[in-house]
Copies of this chain bind each other. A is one copy, B any other.
Amino acid sequence: MTEPDDRSGRLQLDRFLPYQLSIASNAVSNRIAEIYRDRFDLKIPEWRIMAVLGDTGAATQRELTERTLMDKVAVNRACRTLEERGFIEREPNATDGRSHHLELTGQGRSIYDRIMPLALQMEQQLFASFSAVEREIFARLLLRVREQAGALEPEGESVLAPRASSA
């Protein structure tokens, strides 16, 4: 079943770091997405919006795209459904008629209060085998690849017009 150890010039997908990264990320994202879907009927983008709003208070969509690194369309859609479900509401923005201040409703906050502990608990479980030091190292390494990938970017976009998705 498992290949013996072959070290010729060949690639060996399992040793290819970007591949490993992708697999791991997907596994984690899927697990988390599943939990939120089952328990709260929330998708990751929606959950992220809730997280930010609950964490730092009212914000415009513009600010939310910045904080979540999601596409502005994704933010818009997530906000819309959250609004329809009564978890957030839009206050008119006195200083700029184009945007609104979005914030959690009472109901939204109560969901938030149930969601956040769950998030931390899941993180806890997923990284259960990691020591505190390892988590720290892991976070730093992730940040470094991410920066490097950003640096290799062809032109323009970088942090300002990124594309991100799950979890």
Chain A contact residues, CB within 8 Å of chain B: 3, 9-13, 15-32, 34, 48, 51-52, 54-56, 67-69, 116, 119-120, 122-123, 125-130, 134-135, 137-139, 141-146, 148-150, 152-154, 162-167
A142–B23 Cα gap in the complex (Å)?
9
- Contact of A127 with B145 at beta-carbon distance under 8 Å, contacts A11-B55, A22-B29, A122-B18 already known: yes
Establish whether residues A144 and B123, one from each chain, have CB atoms under 8 Å apart when the complex forms. Answer: no
**In the complex, what's the smallest C-beta–C-beta distance from A155 to chain B, in angstroms?**
11
Q: Using Cβ atoms and an 8 Å threshold, which residues of chain B touch A55?
A: 10-13
A15: nearest chain-B partner, CB-CB: B139
Name the contact of A13 in the complex, choosing from B23, B67, B128 (C-beta under 8 A).
B67
Given contacts A11-B119, A11-B120, are A166 and B17 in contact (CB under 8 A)? no
Q: A52 CB to closest chain B CB, in angstroms?
A: 6
Whether the Cβ atoms of A30 and B143 lie closer than 8 Å is: no
CB distance from A93 to the nearest CB of B (A): 19
Give Cα distance in the complex from A69 to B11, angstroms: 16
Smallest beta-carbon distance A97→chain B, Å:
24
Closest to A150 in B: B27
List 6 A-B pairs, Cβ < 8 Å. A21-B142, A27-B145, A27-B164, A28-B145, A30-B149, A128-B148
